[in-house]
Amino acid sequence: MSLAAISNDAFYPSSIEGIRERLKVATAADHHALDERLRDFDLSTTAHYRRFLQASAAALLPLEAALEQAGVGELFEDWAQRQRAQVIAADLADINGVCVPLGLPIQPLDRPAVFGTLYVLEGSRLGAAYLLRVVAASADPRVRRATRYLRHGAGQALWCGFLSRLAREPVTADDELRMIVSAREAFAVFAKAMACP
């Protein structure tokens, strides 16, 4: 997605203050579209839950790798606590799934893009509690046990920690646009993965 395709006027309404709110507004349609794709999954069934985890891993793994290549650990000292590649791989192993990362032509992430990408990854934890309740209704005990990915970070205030760090980040208007673009691209990666059969 090109920066040229985004108008400053579209993302700086006077009634909304703060980068978190601007990211939320700017990615609302992307978030909604991904939620609509998720409605196709009945996570209480083994086949659908396996497919959900495989799609999540397909998107998560290359995004986490791109963050690491960009030096995310220098911006977030607790990055090792935030990573989920190992836990989603363990869940998939429990239900005979496979981790096949999407082959993405991801350009190296700059500093604002790290924040934009993390906005999506860290924000995904917020919906995990709801999804966990659906998975808990599964008749398959393997599915009910394979919830490391959905439970990851519970009780650790990782989302609040991310928002606190984001709020302290000095950004220009161009930096905010880069964050928005990268967040929308991260949503698009998940949408692509969820659309795969």
Whether 51 maps to a domain, the answer reads yes
Put simply, whether the predicted model's pTM sits higher than 0.95 gets the answer: no
Closest C-alpha among 124, 131, 162, 126 to residue 147: 131
Q: 119 with 179: CB under 8 angstroms?
A: yes
CATH code: domain of residue 188: 1.20.910.10
User: Total domain count for the chain?
Assistant: 1
Whether 10 maps to a domain, the answer reads no
Whether 100 maps to a domain, the answer reads yes
Q: How many CB atoms lie within 10 A of CB 23?
A: 23
Q: If you count them, how many residues does the chain have? A: 197
Q: H/E/C letters for each residue in 50-68?
A: HHHHHHHHHHHHHHHHHHH
Domain, as residue range, for 118: 18-32+42-195
Q: What is the pLDDT of residues 144-190, one digit of tens each?
A: 999 999 999 998 999 999 999 999 999 999 999 999 999 999 999 99
Whether 89 maps to a domain, the answer reads yes
Local confidence pLDDT in tens for the 197 residues of the chain:
333 333 333 433 333 358 999 999 999 999 999 999 988 899 999 999 999 999 999 999 999 999 999 999 999 999 999 999 999 999 999 999 999 999 876 678 999 999 999 999 999 998 888 899 999 999 999 999 999 999 999 989 999 999 999 999 999 999 999 999 999 999 999 999 998 76
